[in-house]
Amino acid sequence: MISTFIKKVRAYFKRLFSKGYKVELVDDEPDYVDDKIIYIIGEADFHAIAVMLCPCGCKSKIHLNLLPGNKPTWSITSQEKVPTIKPSVWRKVGCKSHFFVRSGQIVWAKG
């Protein structure tokens, strides 16, 4: 319980002073997902899945496949832990958000 509280406080201050999304490489999907971090599950040379919270505020987890042999597939590039995701992310359920992640910033799709 205290650990979760500390994580939430840490995430709040990180979000307060952070301008955009960052990438974090992890072995397994975290129990707590920060809303300004895109977690890449895998190893340095093998990225399987990306996990993030929907930027609309609905708090839904979004899982993006990063394995090129499976469809749909996304790719993430990052410079100094600032991510760009290609192609756009378009949720077909729930809030139906459609957005791009470009240089750590959310760019909402038009229409």
Residue 6 within any structural domain of the chain: no
Q: What is the pLDDT of residues 83-95, one digit of tens each?
A: 999 999 999 999 9
44, pLDDT greater than 90: no
7 inside domain: no
Exposed / middle / buried, residue 85 (Cβ in 10 Å: 0-12, 13-18, 19+): buried
Is residue 1 in a domain?
A: no
Confirm whether 12 is domain-assigned. no
Q: Is residue 71 assigned to a domain?
A: yes
User: Domain for residue 80, yes or no?
Assistant: yes
Distance CA 82, CA 78 (A): 5
CA angle 93, 53, 85 (to 5 degrees): 90
Residue 15 has pLDDT above 60, yes or no: no
pLDDT digits (tens, 9 = 90+) for 25-36: 999 999 999 999
13 inside domain: no
Give the total number of structural domains in the chain: 1
pTM for this predicted structure: 0.80
* Domain span holding position 30: 19-108
Q: Percentage of the chain surpassing pLDDT 70?
A: 86
Q: Which two tokens stand for residue 76?
A: 């993430």
